[in-house]
Amino acid sequence: MPRVTTLKEDPPESLQRQELGSAVVRFAGDSGDGMQFIGSQFTQSTALCGNDLATFPDFPAEIRAPAGTTFGVSAFQINFGATVIKTSGDDCDMVVAMNPAALKVVLPELKLAGLILVDSGTFTERNLHKAHYDTNPLEDGSLTPYRLIELDISAMTLEAVKEFGLGKKEALRCKNMWTLGLVYWMYDRDRQVTIDWLNVKFTNLPDLAAANIAALNAGHAFGETAEIPDGVHGFSIGKADIAPGEYRTVTGAEALSWGLVAGAKLAGLKMTFCSYPITPASSLLHTLCNLMDYDVVTFQAEDEIAAVCTAIGASYAGSLGITSSSGPGIALKAEAIGLAISAELPLIVVNSQRAGPSTGMPTKTEQSDLHQAVFGRNADSPLVVVASRSPSDCFDVAIEAVRLSVKYMTPAILLTDGYIGNAAEPWLIPDFESFESFPVEFRTDPEGYQPFLRDEKTLARPWATPGTPGLEHRIGGLEKDFDTGHISYDSANHQRMTEIRVAKINGIADDIPLQTVEEGDDKGEMAVVGWGSTFGPINRAVSALRDEGGKVSHIHIRHIWPLPKNLGDLLEGFDQVLVPELNKGQLSTVLRSQYLTDAQTLSKVSGQPFKISEIEAAIRDRLEK
């Protein structure tokens, strides 16, 4: 009997998924189109696939700008891959445009020959006009440098959900799910995480859950069965080589909130978080007000000044007072921060920086409040400034801010920015037990107590809270006598108090880690020095140049004030110092003044993060000179 072997045939090469190392996809639509939502769903699913990733939500300040306008376009970008991902990506491999305005806005971000997925159902004369297109780009040949997937997603969504009897407007709201379904198919992602989420979200509206799931499935099925224009047969991306352990995705706002809660716990304090709503800082308040079961008291104040003053009152009474805002709000808090410096009370001030000056661009990122943090108060008023570099880094930086603030009885400003706050990345969840605690010891002994007698080593005054018998005392913003803490207008005393306030903060340099080099050697032709959210693009750019043999290193500063005590010596080991910053040169000014080093600025203030290529080009340019 002849043996029959049936070979399982591979599909023809033309129908196989194309293997990619990584991909950058940008979803764009009207603010009401649910782009942030499908972006975050795609992020979850991608993380579960084992890819590394970084995201960049980019949305307008308007909550619901007029539909179809370019200024109402909301976008979400994700960079994911089988390799380590450190930025949300430079140019996009694929853009999804839910209407003509979205296409107009995202097209400049697309690589040549990149993929465009558009909902052709929205390319009506009216919408084209609103997006200021004179001719239909789908027809006038202007998109020929790209690969266009033109589908009437609107019509197909209506068809997919018609059995649920939704009104047309409601039915069309499922468009984003249809689109997500198709993009899931294109990149071989699992839909289950989204289906689970929809079932929970719409527990009480089962029809709406079912309609959304039907749209999601229809989009996915379309990818599987229909022939997608332009010969696209989907992509596959291998798993990234990721350290073993338990992971989650985390945004900067979440990690920062949890870091503050963790810091308070390590200090043995309750926390009182006082804030006034402001973009992009409000997400901290939203996260923390749901953590009452962690003994977190949140307070929405009537204004920025009330927020910081309430936090100061809480610290005075023995809680960890925290306030949070963005640049314009921090400006309003400046006088009160000075009070906390003078009264020498712990206080955490979080600044989620945004583009300025004044109201500026509330939803766009910038790093232009470094000078405000370090110098932005009347008189000689030093305090601690730390900066987080990425969403997950916010957790560690928050704990560090709390540690320094309570140990040295000083306000600490934590700089993050709109980009870090909203962006998400996978996070190897740390074991909280591995963090060293730093329990606060309140003063209780009346023997020899004076409110401003200092610890010899830290120069911090004792923390004595109301309610403690025998330690009744009066403090305030007036200058205090060095020994007794009573009001003093004595000139020599003021000199002495000013000196010791400065010495206390400078001395913290002995209690923070020495500056390390992130990438490269501790000597070379160029140090690229960064702080905050520029970490990813700087690191990628330096790695790329080192691969070519460039003698360039990446140094990233967490402790902005005081600076690590070896930083000056470290910089001396390099011929050039380049500081890429999303401002006009604020860290470089500080480095120049502190170390007399010829630090050069690479400045970008467009409201967008650096691209790797921009930093790479700047380094290359200077190395070749």
Partner 1 sequence: MNVVTPLKKLTPADFATDQEVRWCPGCGDYAILKAMQRTLVDIGATKENTVFISGIGCAARFPYYMATYGFHTIHGRAPSVGTGIKLANPDLDVWVITGDGDALSIGGNHLLHVLRRNVNLQVLLFNNEIYGLTKGQYSPTSRAGTRSPSTPLGSIENPVSAAALALGAGARFVARSVDTMQKHLPVIFKRAHDHNGTSFVEIFQNCIVYNDEVFAEFTAKNVADDAEIILEHGQPLIFGKQKNRGLRVRSGFIELEAVTIGEDGMTEEDILIHDETNRALAGMLALLEPPSMPVAIGVLYCDPGSSYEDGVKDHMDEALKHSSGHDINALLRRGHTWTITG
CA atoms within 13 Å, Cβ hemisphere of 383: 39
Q: State the nearest-atom distance from the C-beta of 42 to partner 1, in Å.
A: 14
Q: State the nearest-atom distance from the C-beta of 22 to partner 1, in Å.
A: 18
d(CA 131, CA 65): 13
For 22-83, give the secondary structure using H, E and C. EEEEEEEEEHHHCHHHHHHHHHHHHHHCCCEEEEEEECCCCCCCCCCCHHHEEEEEEEEECC
Indicate which single residue of 36, 41, 44, 69 sits in contact with partner 1 (rule: CB under 8 A).
44
Nearer to partner 1, 162 or 248 (CB): 248
Residue closest to 384 by CA, chosen among 356, 351, 420: 351
Indicate which single residue of 140, 188, 303, 483 sits in contact with partner 1 (rule: CB under 8 A).
303
* Residues 230-269 contacting partner 1, CB under 8 A: 242-249, 258, 261-262, 265
Q: Is 53 in the site for partner 1 (CB under 8 A)?
A: no
Indicate which single residue of 13, 125, 431, 624 sits in contact with partner 1 (rule: CB under 8 A).
431
Helix (H) or strand (E) holding 327: helix 327-343
- Candidate segments 27-35, 129-137, 464-472, 587-595, binder of partner 1 by CB under 8 A: 464-472
d(CA 97, CA 153): 11
Q: What are phi and psi of 275, to 5 degrees?
A: -150, 155
CB 622 within 8 A of CB 580: no
Query: What residues contact residue 6 under an 8 Å CB cut-off, 6+ apart?
Result: none
- Candidate segments 213-221, 381-389, 476-484, 610-618, binder of partner 1 by CB under 8 A: 476-484
Helix (H) or strand (E) holding 601: strand 599-603
Inter-helix orientation angle 192-201/175-186, to 10°:
160
Q: Is 429 in the site for partner 1 (CB under 8 A)?
A: yes
- Tokens representing residue 311 in the block: 């936090």
Residue 107 amino acid letter: L
- DSSP annotation string for 357-382: STT-BTTS---TTHHHHHH-SSSS--
Q: Is 439 in the site for partner 1 (CB under 8 A)?
A: no
Q: Is 436 in the site for partner 1 (CB under 8 A)?
A: no
Indicate which single residue of 111, 147, 473, 565 sits in contact with partner 1 (rule: CB under 8 A).
473
Q: State the nearest-atom distance from the C-beta of 331 to partner 1, in Å.
A: 15
Q: Is 84 in the site for partner 1 (CB under 8 A)?
A: no
Q: Is 195 in the site for partner 1 (CB under 8 A)?
A: no
d(CA 551, CA 574): 9
Question: From the CB of residue 476, how many other CB atoms can be counted at a distance below 10 Å?
Answer: 11
- Tokens representing residue 121 in the block: 């159902």
Inter-helix orientation angle 206-225/192-201, to 10°:
160
For 488-519, give the secondary structure using H, E and C. CCCHHHHHHHHHHHHHHHHHHHHHCCCCCCCE
The size of the interface with partner 1 (CB under 8 A), counted in residues, is 71
Nearer to partner 1, 262 or 582 (CB): 262
Indicate which single residue of 15, 205, 226, 487 sits in contact with partner 1 (rule: CB under 8 A).
487
- Candidate segments 1-9, 101-109, 285-293, 363-371, binder of partner 1 by CB under 8 A: 285-293
Nearer to partner 1, 94 or 307 (CB): 307
Q: Is 20 in the site for partner 1 (CB under 8 A)?
A: no
Q: How far is CA 136 from CA 26, 106, 153, 528, 608, in A?
A: 21, 16, 17, 45, 28
3-state secondary structure of 232: coil
Indicate which single residue of 28, 172, 274, 406 sits in contact with partner 1 (rule: CB under 8 A).
274
Q: State the nearest-atom distance from the C-beta of 306 to partner 1, in Å.
A: 4
- Candidate segments 85-93, 163-171, 294-302, 368-376, binder of partner 1 by CB under 8 A: 294-302
* Residues 382-421 contacting partner 1, CB under 8 A: none
Nearer to partner 1, 316 or 574 (CB): 316
Q: State the nearest-atom distance from the C-beta of 592 to partner 1, in Å.
A: 34
Q: State the nearest-atom distance from the C-beta of 114 to partner 1, in Å.
A: 30
Nearer to partner 1, 12 or 469 (CB): 469
Question: From the CB of residue 376, how many other CB atoms can be counted at a distance below 10 Å?
Answer: 17
Nearer to partner 1, 202 or 595 (CB): 202
Q: Is 46 in the site for partner 1 (CB under 8 A)?
A: no
d(CA 86, CA 55): 10
Nearer to partner 1, 194 or 597 (CB): 194
Q: Is 476 in the site for partner 1 (CB under 8 A)?
A: yes
- Tokens representing residue 67 in the block: 């539909």
Q: Is 48 in the site for partner 1 (CB under 8 A)?
A: yes
Q: Is 477 in the site for partner 1 (CB under 8 A)?
A: yes
d(CA 483, CA 135): 78
Q: Is 294 in the site for partner 1 (CB under 8 A)?
A: yes
Q: State the nearest-atom distance from the C-beta of 474 to partner 1, in Å.
A: 4
Nearer to partner 1, 164 or 395 (CB): 395
Indicate which single residue of 13, 227, 293, 547 sits in contact with partner 1 (rule: CB under 8 A).
293
Nearer to partner 1, 139 or 483 (CB): 483
* Residues 312-371 contacting partner 1, CB under 8 A: 312-319, 321, 335-336, 338-339, 343
Indicate which single residue of 59, 80, 299, 482 sits in contact with partner 1 (rule: CB under 8 A).
299
Nearer to partner 1, 229 or 466 (CB): 466
